[in-house]
Structure 1
């Protein structure tokens, strides 16, 4: 580990493939040397290079490894608890190593109770020489998906549990949504069939616009149910702040 620390200190500029790894208690920067492996977990040096969850006995002393080979950093879970990656992807000790893409990747080590320990990983790409502070730069606005007024009302009705930020929210049924819309807009003829047709239109349009979650059936891999696609739609709209809690005033 002294050799690894020396290598990390010797990097004055982050060349492509350089790995930056950070936890709550520290961070390291490692050059892309073929065959090099760094380890993270609850243990101490020289067993691990990056301490994670030092006070949590659910975290293994050597919980994960990152190895540089074939011009990429490969992540492997070596601990007893799962490792969670973006989009809910999970890694077990039996999971094949996963290559890290250039840029930022957060991972979470499952700990005691509801605890999850964050490890931030950043791999420098060819077009980005390193982590450049941008403290004075303007904040990028979230991507808001275009919705017509009647579409927004419908989605607020069906997704009201999502807008309350409840745990494990699910969409309102079309039957209940139609009953509520009949009270809110009695002249608009909201039926279950019209709701289904409108939701399908929105899903197809946003899917073609690059929505981050699946919105249409995949005939080759097996289609998820319409309810799961609707869940994806509402989840993405809420996460992007296209739908926000004040929208609930539409149904008050």
Structure 2
């Protein structure tokens, strides 16, 4: 099963086609007027299963519909769906049009749990990229992280991965506590979290990322350094929403 995040793009496809991905699978739908895709908990009766182990997710929780040259999302479930910028879509409200490119949806579930449904509406650039035989190869933008660094940064930056409107890093104390719950046999502490964050910031700063050093942002520093770090990791797709699955053992 392919769990590669749609935030990193999709293979070449027809303009207007939509790709939808959840933990249970992925589907590709051509831009046929009137086409409807159903998603929800009841795997046998929906096109894409979301939250199949969570009884708070409705059996059919929503629809993706092709209408008027656009894809629209409708909530048919009992609990709201969260869109980017902390916009909530409730049952009975007008459908919301999806922009071209990447859109994550978060389906509300049990005990504040949210189930990720990734969507990608293809545009002309996805359909027919121009040949670039002689162009200089662009280096990858994703940053290398050790497994421990990645897990720590997922915990620290979970609000950014949830696409909250004005996210802030989780405190170092809470980060250490969550990590200790996820890995009770490891030696997680506030000091270890602090040192690891500082190491990653120093490495990315040396790689050309601005705003990761105290002298660059001025006083008072507050959360600016870690905010800049997490925004770089998300914008470079080093961390993507599907990484939140690492926190599922706590649900």
- TM bracket (short chain): 0.5 to 0.7
> Would the alpha carbon gap of residues 98 and 144 (structure 1) be closer, same or farther in structure 2, given more than 3 Å must change?
farther
Match of 2:218 in 1: 153
Unaligned runs of 5+ in 2: 1-10, 130-136, 143-203, 234-251
Choose from 65, 90, 97 the match for 2:63. Answer: 65
> Would the alpha carbon gap of residues 103 and 241 (structure 1) be closer, same or farther in structure 2, given more than 3 Å must change?
closer
Alpha-carbon shift at residue 94 of structure 1 (Å) = 3.4
Choose from 230, 233, 242 the match for 1:239. Answer: 230
* Counterparts of 1:79 and 1:23, CA distance in 2: 17
* Counterparts of 1:106 and 1:148, CA distance in 2: 31
Local SS of the residue matching 1:154: coil
Alpha-carbon shift at residue 48 of structure 1 (Å) = 1.0
Say how many residue pairs are matched: 152
1:37 lines up with 2:101 in the alignment: no
Choose from 82, 85, 88 the match for 1:87. Answer: 85
> Would the alpha carbon gap of residues 137 and 111 (structure 1) be closer, same or farther in structure 2, given more than 3 Å must change?
farther
Q: TM-score, normalised by structure 2?
A: 0.52
Instruction: Give per-residue Cα distances to partners, 1:72-101, cap 9 Å, x unaligned.
Output: 100111111111122222211133211111
* Counterparts of 1:26 and 1:239, CA distance in 2: 28
> Would the alpha carbon gap of residues 109 and 148 (structure 1) be closer, same or farther in structure 2, given more than 3 Å must change?
closer
4+ residue runs over 4 A deviation: 141-151
Q: TM-score, normalised by structure 1?
A: 0.52
Match of 1:140 in 2: 141
* Counterparts of 2:128 and 2:61, CA distance in 1: 27
Alpha-carbon shift at residue 137 of structure 1 (Å) = 6.8
Local SS of the residue matching 2:219: helix
Match of 2:107 in 1: 109
* Counterparts of 1:44 and 1:52, CA distance in 2: 8
Q: Which has the higher contact order (CA 8 A, sep 6+)?
A: 2
* Counterparts of 1:125 and 1:81, CA distance in 2: 31
Larger Rg: 1
**Contact (CA 8 Å) 1:124, 1:130: kept in 2 or not?**
no
Alpha-carbon shift at residue 114 of structure 1 (Å) = 3.4
Alpha-carbon shift at residue 151 of structure 1 (Å) = 6.4
Unaligned runs of 5+ in 1: 1-11, 164-234, 243-252
> Would the alpha carbon gap of residues 152 and 27 (structure 1) be closer, same or farther in structure 2, given more than 3 Å must change?
same
Local SS of the residue matching 2:217: helix
